[in-house]
Amino acid sequence: MNTATRSSGIVSRLFPALTEPALRRYLGGQVASVLGSWTQNVTLNLLVYHLSGSAAILALLNFLLYGPQLVVAPIAGSRIRSGNARRVTLFMLTVSLVLTGSLITLSALGVLGVKLILAHALAIGVSSAVEVPARQVLLLTSLRDASLTSNAVAMNTMVYNVGRMVGPTIAGFVYPTLGPGASFAIYALALCFMAACVRSIRLSGAARPSRADSSLRDAVGYVLSDAFSARYLPILACIGLFAASYQTLVPLLADKAFHDAARFTGVFFACAGAGSLSSAVLLSSALGPRASARFIAWAPWSAIAALMVLAITDAAAASMPAFFMLGFSLTFAATSTNATIQRQCPEHVRGGLVGMYGMAYNGTMPFGYLLVGTVSEALGVRHTFAAMAVVLAVGVVCIVAWQRFKE
């Protein structure tokens, strides 16, 4: 008992947000949900490629899955408040379950073709764009101790990154052995578990009701008036466009530069995932808020440096730490920006700001994938990495200079 108590005390000191019962329930469901979501989305990619053999259709699929974050997330988020976040989350989980059930049925009947998959992808993308801000508002308003906001956001990011690393592995095993229907069924079970966890969460008594007239205009007005948001949300959009889109180039780099696509694609993604997970663990810990405040301004520049290394090196031994640093920097910038904004903002604009964060980062990435893929065909892989670094550096400098000029 004493050993268990000491272990619990150490974990609580290292990751203080885990002292919150609501967060533990939420993260339990989130682990299952994220794993299931990545399993389903990767399965859809594999299925579309098997049916079409077209890289263009694959790009369209991923645009439909993630593109709605750009438009839908800020609009939906502006209508989500602490009072309705739990209800909206449960409703969107139900919608996701219906869509997954449809995929299971169509797959079992043998009629799941490319057009039906793309239609479902659009519906899944819209559903996710509404659900993500609802989930985050639910998470933040269920905390009893508001000072743990940064740690809670980082813990949520850590869970997402674990899911991003493990989910594709599950899909890679289940799809060829059991078929796409089994992957969809895994996500359906995960959604049910997440719904049960959400139903068990009770909002903190300290949570205050939002203003009834809160809107996207309120959130935009807050961003324009808040120095931190006005600087780092545009920087995050540049990072989403010109750095996070590196994933499109990884298989090309592995094939053309290192002549072993299968081996080095996995290695490079693993290095980036390890960096991302390391960043999330740091920000989830008791050191997180201090590290975020001290180093957030350097995160874009470390990403730029990593992109430049990838542009000029011919050695795998140099590329692997560069991918690690890139993954670390992207997660550090995104999580620190989101956590700082959520910790400082008034309650009535929180949902809208969650949506604007999703628009700035997740919403720009699909356009970055298309842009980087097109440029790489014209310039080549290494020159594209260099162009990404240069354009991102110019963007960051212009944003900082403009803000200082306005001051």
The full length of the chain comes to: 407
CB contact at 8 A, 70 and 356: no
Q: Tens of pLDDT along 47-65?
A: 887 888 776 777 788 788 8
Per-residue pLDDT at 207 exceeds 70: no
The count of other CB atoms within 10 Å of the CB of residue 114 is: 15
Per-residue pLDDT at 339 exceeds 70: yes
Per-residue pLDDT at 280 exceeds 60: yes
The reported pLDDT for the residue numbered 349 is 77
Q: What band does 179 get if pLDDT is binned at 50, 70 and 90?
A: confident
The reported pLDDT for the residue numbered 206 is 47
Q: What is the mean pLDDT of the chain?
A: 82
Per-residue pLDDT at 9 exceeds 80: no
DSSP state of 298: G
Most confident of 75-79, 259-263, 310-314: 310-314
The reported pLDDT for the residue numbered 223 is 84
For the segment 20-40, the average pLDDT, to the nearest whole number, is 86
The reported pLDDT for the residue numbered 343 is 78
The count of other CB atoms within 10 Å of the CB of residue 250 is: 20
Q: What band does 209 get if pLDDT is binned at 50, 70 and 90?
A: very low
The reported pLDDT for the residue numbered 247 is 76
* CA nearest neighbour of 194 among 124, 150, 138: 138
Tell me how far CA of residue 212 lies from CA of 84, 87, 90, 156, 200, in angstroms: 11, 16, 21, 28, 26
* Residues above pLDDT 70, as percent of the chain: 90
The reported pLDDT for the residue numbered 211 is 46
Domain 210-407 in CATH 1.20.1250.20: yes
Per-residue pLDDT at 208 exceeds 60: no
Decide which of 168 and 117 is more confident: 117
The reported pLDDT for the residue numbered 234 is 92
| In the chain, where the domains are located | 16-209, 210-407
The reported pLDDT for the residue numbered 212 is 46
Distance CA 226, CA 213 (A): 20
Q: Do 210-407 and 16-209 fall under one CATH topology? A: yes
DSSP helix/strand/coil, 355:
helix
Sign of CA dihedral 308, 310, 313, 319: positive
CB contact at 8 A, 94 and 195: yes
Displacement of CA 352 from its chain's centroid (Å): 17
Q: Tens of pLDDT along 342-368?
A: 778 777 777 778 778 878 887 788 888
Q: What band does 11 get if pLDDT is binned at 50, 70 and 90?
A: low
* Residues above pLDDT 90, as percent of the chain: 27
Would you state the structure tokens that stand for residue 30, as one six-digit string?
A: 């989130």
The reported pLDDT for the residue numbered 69 is 80
The reported pLDDT for the residue numbered 133 is 84
Q: Tens of pLDDT along 215-268?
A: 677 778 888 888 888 899 999 999 989 998 887 787 778 777 887 765 777 678
Per-residue pLDDT at 35 exceeds 70: yes
Per-residue pLDDT at 137 exceeds 50: yes
CATH number of the structural domain 16-209: 1.20.1250.20
